[in-house]
Amino acid sequence: MAKIKIKLVRSNIGKIESQKRTVEALGLKKIGQIVEKEDTPQIRGMIEKVKHMVEVVE
C-alpha cells in the first residue's frame, strides 16, 4: 500500500473532544509534526474529519 504523510498545522486547543481524539489517533502531538501512515480509507476519513487542522504532505 502507498504511504501518506500527515502534518499537524493547527492546535487542537478549543476544539471538540472527538477532533482531539482523532488527531491523537493519527499519532500527532505537536504542531509541525509529520507522521507517515498507510493510505487507507479509514485514515482518509480521519483526515477529512480534521482537515482544518492537518495537511497532507506530498
* Greatest pairwise CA separation for the chain in angstroms: 35
Backbone angles phi, psi at 17, to 5 degrees: -60, -40
* pLDDT tens-digit map of 2-58: 999 999 999 999 999 999 999 999 999 999 999 999 999 999 999 999 999 999 997
Q: What is the pTM of this model?
A: 0.90
Domains of the chain: 3-57 (3.30.1390.20)
* pLDDT tens-digit map of 10-24: 999 999 999 999 999
